[in-house]
Homo-oligomer: A and B are copies of this chain.
Amino acid sequence: MEHNEKVIKYKDALLTSMDDALTRFPGTIIMGQGVDDHKGTFGSTTDLAKKHGAHRVFDIPLSEEGNTGIGIGAALNGVYPIQTHIRNDFSLLAMSQIVNTAAKYKYMYGGHFNVPMLIRMIIGRSWGQGAQHSQSLQSLFAHIPGLVVLMPSSADAVLESYNHAVEHYKGPVISIEHRLLYDYSFKSTYGEKDAAKHDPFSSRLVRKGDDVTIVATSIMVIEAQRVADYLAKELDIHCEIIDLHSISHFNKEMIVESVKKTGNLIIADTSWQAYGVCAEISRIICEHDPRMLKGPVVTLGMQPSPCPTTKKLEDLFYPDDYTFTMKIVEMVKGRGHGLSVAKTSLNETYKSFKGPF
């Protein structure tokens, strides 16, 4: 069997990284609502309490602010806590501990303390779950110095960066996991000797191309790849795709070099554009040299409204890959390009997802 035939699901990568952390570091604990139940945080913590003990993988009360403060205090006393929020919306209740405490601990006390911990937050799409279960709040964290904010878009991205977080990094890491990635299968070379070497907390160049630069996060990386495949095959348009991966510590040079080459930039994020990743990447370009660009930057994200539940509006709320594709064609070929683009869409994936959860 060739090594690149190894295939692994996102959720299994999560489970593996959790299991590894518990196995290799006796100080690791997983504390979160339902981490020890039969659903095991959508399969990412299943049976770990049984395997590693109920004192290391345990359920906690509904007390986000307190729990986060408790995680921090534990981290300061020799434990590596992994915390989970089954929706990142709930982490808003823990903002003070994350922003006022965890992010500042090392600096505020002159470098004498470290708060090593991992906070996993799940975002999603197409659950018909409405305004309070649909947000994608990465930029709120990435605005704050002191936090490493990740959005792993593949199984290997999970394995590389979570293992790095637990083993080597001494500060708080926020990781935003997309629920719809959980059941995706990815090729994996993690751990193999000729596997690609990434800075585990930085960006990845996932596809090379000369026509357009796509900077994407999380599941938008998958969409970008589908769109890029289509464009290359059908319309001879070649996209370069940068998976931002870390939205707090992304690779600026990689982005600048790519835009210098292509002159065209499209940014695709899971959240609102305003004050989000789309804004931040625009800033990087503007501060470097906006004249690298041949024309306007295109951004894709959620429409500027809370998320409605009804399918009709929800489909309008999120960008689809038809729009994604069309925007790129227009960017490269101009408005009156007259090319036709198939309507096959990743939306089918979204639609087929049901829940509960």
Contacts and interface: CB of A to CB of B under 8 A. Distances in A.
Interface string A268-298: 0001111110111011011111110101111
A145 B304 contact: yes
Interface stretch (A38-46, A70-78, A89-97): A89-97
The winner among A271, A276, A280, A293 for most chain B CB atoms within 10 A is A280
The winner among A131, A132, A142, A276 for most chain B CB atoms within 10 A is A131
Interface string A181-214: 0000000000000000000000000000000000
A59 interface: no
B89 A100 contact: yes
B272 A275 contact: no
Interface in A77-101: 89-90, 92-93, 95-96, 99-100
Nearest to A277: B275
Interface residues of A, number: 54
Given A92-B95, A92-B99, A104-B306, A293 B286 contact: yes
A306 B107 contact: yes
A131 B108 contact: yes
A128 interface: no
Contact of A95 (B95, B248, B282): B95
A286 B290 CA distance: 8
B291 A295 contact: yes
Nearest to A290: B290
A179 to B, nearest CB: 18
A5 B290 CA distance: 43
19 contacts: A95-B96, A100-B131, A103-B306, A139-B143, A140-B143, A142-B274, A265-B286, A274-B280, A278-B283, A279-B283, A282-B283, A285-B290, A286-B286, A287-B296, A288-B296, A289-B296, A290-B290, A290-B295, A291-B293
